[in-house]
Structure 1
Amino acid sequence: MQFIKPKNNNADKVDWLISEQVREIVKNYAEYCEYSESEVVDMFLKNLLKDEGFLKWIDGIRHNKRMLRKMGLEEFMEGEKLG
């Protein structure tokens, strides 16, 4: 069971350039899911933490505790291996 988590209150506005196609995909997917566009992007990008190559790369630099904390990977600061 997945428990409902509070929305991210530490949200910052970002200045990214994305294609018109991607904006349209996010807009329509958000409408389909009944989430805001920001929520869709937030949820989707968190899936990057399931990329095994990315996790191995992170494991190689896990001495960067602040980076791990910001990415929600605190458990790996305590010596667990990623992946």
Structure 2
Amino acid sequence: MKKFNYIKPKNLNSERVNWVISEQTRNIVAAFSEYSEYTESEVVDEFLKNILTDEEFVDWAMKKRNNKRLLKQLGLEEMEV
């Protein structure tokens, strides 16, 4: 029996940011957006979430003083010891 994949809601808490990125990075995002059929914003959002797989970054966040708010913002609150 094939498993049914539920549709997950998009993050409605988005806002515009004003970042300066290189032309090469813009081209990479645009090309991957075309390839994957996701919007450029969705591509950037998904790739940046991969930062949470960096164990050293997660360890750093876990060790910060008064880190409850930071862990909640990063979606790591369930990892708190």
**Normalised TM-score (structure 1):** 0.84
Give the % identical residues.
55
Structure 1, unpaired ranges of 5+: none
Q: Deviations over 1:16-75 (max 9, x none)?
A: 000000000000101100000000000000000000110111121163211111111120
Structure 1 Cα separation of the partners of residues 71 and 6 of structure 2: 23
User: Which runs of 5 or more residues in structure 2 are unaligned?
Assistant: none
Q: Give the letter aligned to residue 10 of structure 1.
A: N
Q: Indicate the residue corresponding to 2:62 in structure 1.
A: 59
Give the structure 2 partner of residue 31 of structure 1. Answer: 34
Is the Cα–Cα contact under 8 Å of residues 49 and 55 in structure 1 kept in the other structure? Answer: yes
Length-normalised TM-score, structure 2: 0.86
Distance 1:76 1:31 in 2: 35
Residues matched between the structures, number: 78
Instruction: Say what the alpha-carbon RMSD is for the aligned residues.
Output: 1.7
How far apart, CA to CA, are the structure 2 residues paired with 1:3 and 1:44? 21
Runs of 4+ off more than 6 Å: none
